[in-house]
Structure 1
Amino acid sequence: MRILVVSTPVGALGSGRGGGVELTACALVAGLLARGHRVTVLAAEESVLPTSCLAAELWTCCGSSQTSAQHQQRSAAITMPADGLLQAFWRRALLEGPGAGFEAVINLAYDWLPLWLTPLAPLPLFHLVSMGSVSEAMDLAIAELAAWDHRRLAFHTRVQAEDFCLPQAPVVLGNGFDLDAYGFCAEPEPLLGWAGRVAPEKGLEDAAAAAAQLGLPLAVWGLVEDQAYAAAVEASVPAGTLQWRGFLPTNQLQQQLGHCQALLNTPKWNEAYGNVVVEALACGVPVVAYRRGGPGELVQHGLTGLLVEPDDVTALAAAVAQVGAIERRACRAWVEANATRAVLAERVEAWLLAGLT
């Protein structure tokens, strides 16, 4: 098929500002290319595709970034900058897409506009929903589209899909990773890890508190979105507890992450999936996570990690003390069976074909 993949209007591919959508986009494109599809990626200006995606055509647009729904109140109205990147994406997709011969368009961004456009568009639009319920307006748009044609929607996990009013069982795709990019590490160091955007909804303060209780350093990887929040978390624990490692490309991240005894995953909201959970497992690192959202569905309790009740820092620290009983090769094996690029691409292809019939 000839497929257009529309990235996030929050930031350029490769910048880290797009969070997990960036990883999903690259994995999906590489997987679809490997299955023989012709893929074009529509992304923000200055976007960079990884080597695995260089066979794809890259279209770029300029404009102001869209504010992420997760940084607004649930009742907030839908707003778009006058020169918004979001509008630029969909103007180009719908005006140039038919002439380019696209048979399907996959939207990866959590935005109201492409959902609203779907019944009116001259091309079949499909949406891989990247978050759980954070906006009343988005909840309504997803419910209305599901009622019009539920086949146009897919989700990363079942627990994410349960946030929304859907007339039928959801299409669940998971996510995909290039396992060649993640080295297995059998022997950990006395180090804990945490990865994600450094923002309040990610719950870094709980991971920091657990590390402090255990007297272990906590390596923190990710883009610092909220400097004041990061400073407050650092001030809440003894000096030296946190090791700020920054946002790293996959190759550097996995080299460091693999040495951790465990990855702590402490979201304060309903994560749709949990890419960092799978990245850790791919390196052989067990995950200790709150039983909340996607990570609570991904982590196989007692096999690839341990789950504790949300917001219970004492239980989090106690679980970390038990991760030595987890077989690190079992962590890697779970990813090989459930979350490769090939697995994701096969699922997406089936989703598109079903929706086009």
Structure 2
Amino acid sequence: MTSRPLDLILVSTPIGGLGSGRGGGVELTLSSLLKGLVDRDHRVRLIAAEGSQLPEGCEAVELLTAQGLDQPSWQHLDGESPVLIPRAGLLPRFLDIALNVGAEADAVINFGYDWLPLWITPHVSQRLFHLISMGAVADVMRDQIEALASWDQQRLAFHTARQAADFRLPQPPRVVGNGFDLSRYQFRQEAGGPLGWAGRVAPEKGLEDAAAAAAALGEQLLVWGLREDPAYAEAVEAMVPTGTLQWRGFLPNAELQEELGRCRALINTPKWNEAYGNVVVEALACGVPVVAYDRGGPGELVQSGQTGFLVEPDNVSALSDALKRVPELDRADCRTWVEANATQEVFARRVEDWVLAGLSSLP
């Protein structure tokens, strides 16, 4: 515990309300951290889109909401895209609130991956920190993250070292990982069951490779997640035999872990440099081994040969071969790794240490 409780303002993603699923992994990150910080006796206020829902156990968090249009996601833009801010967009409205209520707070922690909060940081007296949630998906974002790191790298934290390696940083990165409330994930020892895949159904997540690997084994693949790109989902379904894909939709956590935990293995097939890989840890928490491309965050999370297997990126044959080896693994090792490395308590403490170190370096 710190010597005194901190007064912290957390700024949610400007892509959808908390609980909607549109914010992707940032929603789960925020939910875990809110609970973890409250449990450590910090005062926490959250700025989020109107209609956001606080997770269970976060009744002590003060929710401050704003109306506005979602910010376009950088992961759906090309590398040379310019900065876009919609008229009546959520992002500047979030910052209005953050700069107002954050004037007397110890720190403001921004979770939105966007240019404006990064750019404004050196120009205001409020102590803004940024947990970077993606790699260098656009030139203008890479430039701004690197510029802020040159000014004060203590203001930045990353989920994994692989993610941070996308950027030229003057010092070794502050890596905080991520955290999960393990009381919400039931460990299952049984090793049978279907294959699974989970994530936003969009091209950068690589569902087509997981579907092809399942089809090569003559098995069904359960798919959980928001169909962000319906045309892409239909194209993937058309690539494999009818009935290969079983669409399970975007489920609340309790239902997701119940179904996911019954899987023999989770397939993780990112086509881009995932910053972390929340669903990888969710599967491991249930005792489900993960067969993943050795790319980005999942390549740091999966202990190949112990909690799953890492294979050459974009190699569907290697995925299929690794899936055949899953019975070699002890599912208890999956849960044990999460307990040591990715609980909400571990995550909250790492974030707390990062903010305290940053505050101690300020004049």
TM-score scaled by length of structure 1: 0.99
Q: Which residue of 1 aligns with 2:41?
A: 36
Q: Do the aligned residues in 2 keep the contact of 1:188 with 1:258 (CA within 8 Å)? A: no
Deviates more, 1:272-281 or 1:188-197: 188-197
SS in 2 for 1:289: strand
Once the 2 structures are TM-superposed, how far is the Cα of residue 37 of structure 1 from its aligned partner?
0.2
CA distance in 2, matches of 1:14, 1:310: 31
Does 2:234 align with 1:238?
A: no
Find the residue that maps to 2:63 and give its secondary structure. strand
Tell me if structure 1 keeps the 8 A contact 2:115–2:144.
yes
Q: 1:72 aligns with which of 67, 71, 77?
A: 77
User: Matched residue of 2:117: which SS?
Assistant: helix
Whether 2:350 is the aligned partner of 1:347: answer yes
SS at 2:51 equivalent: coil
Q: Which residue of 2 aligns with 1:174?
A: 177
Alignment of 1:65-104 (within 5 A): 65-98=70-103, 101-104=104-107
Distance 2:75 2:225 in 1: 17
TM-score normalized by the length of structure 2? 0.97
In 2, Cα distance between the equivalents of 1:216 and 1:281?
Answer: 21
Look up the match of 2:290. 287
Q: Which residue of 2 aligns with 1:254?
A: 257
**What aligned pairs does 1:147-166 form with structure 2 within 5 A after superposition?**
147-166=150-169
Does the CA contact (< 8 Å) of 1:192 and 1:217 recur in 2?
A: yes
Q: Distance in 1 between matches of 2:200 and 2:251?
A: 12
Give 1:190 shift.
3.3
Alignment partner of 2:50 out of 42, 45, 52: 45
Unaligned runs of 5+ in 1: none
Amino acid of the structure 2 residue aligned with 1:193: G
Give the letter aligned to residue 76 of structure 2. H
Matches within 5 A, 1:206-355: 206-355=209-358
State how far apart, in whole Å, the 2-side matches of 1:133 and 1:96 are.
30
Q: Is contact 2:191–2:327 with CA below 8 Å preserved after alignment?
A: no
Structure 2 SS opposite 1:279: helix
Alignment match, 2:7: 2
Q: Are the equivalent residues in 1 in contact too, given 2:11–2:110 (CA < 8 A)?
A: yes
Identity %: 63
In structure 1, the partner of 2:3 is none
Deviation for aligned residue 1:50: 1.1
Structure 1 residues 51-93: Cα deviation after superposition (integer angstroms, max 9, x where no partner) = 1212100000000000000100100000100100001000111
Distance 2:328 2:191 in 1: 13
Which residue of 3, 6, 11 corresponds with 2:16? Answer: 11
How many residue pairs align between the two structures? 355
Q: Give the one of 90, 104, 108 matched to 1:105.
A: 108
RMSD: 0.7
Matched, 1:199 2:202: yes
Q: Is the 8 A contact 1:132 1:271 kept in 2?
A: yes
- Return the offset for 1:188: 3.5
Deviation at 1:95, TM superposition (A): 2.3
Question: Within 2, Cα distance between the matches of 1:188 and 1:85?
Answer: 45
1:249: Cα distance to partner?
1.1
Aligned to 2:59: 54
Cα distance in 1 for partners of 2:105, 2:249 equals 38
Q: Could you say what secondary structure the match of 1:171 adopts? A: coil
The CA distance in 2 between the partners of 1:70 and 1:316, in whole Å, is 25
CA distance in 2 between partners of 1:309 and 1:129 (Å): 26
Deviations 1:151-206 (Å, cap 9, x if unpaired)? 00000000000000100000000000000000011114330000000000000000
Question: Pick from 108, 115, 118: which aligns with 2:118?
Answer: 115
**Is the Cα contact below 8 Å between 2:187 and 2:287 reproduced in 1?**
yes
Stretches of 4+ aligned residues off by more than 4 angstroms? none
SS at match of 2:70: coil
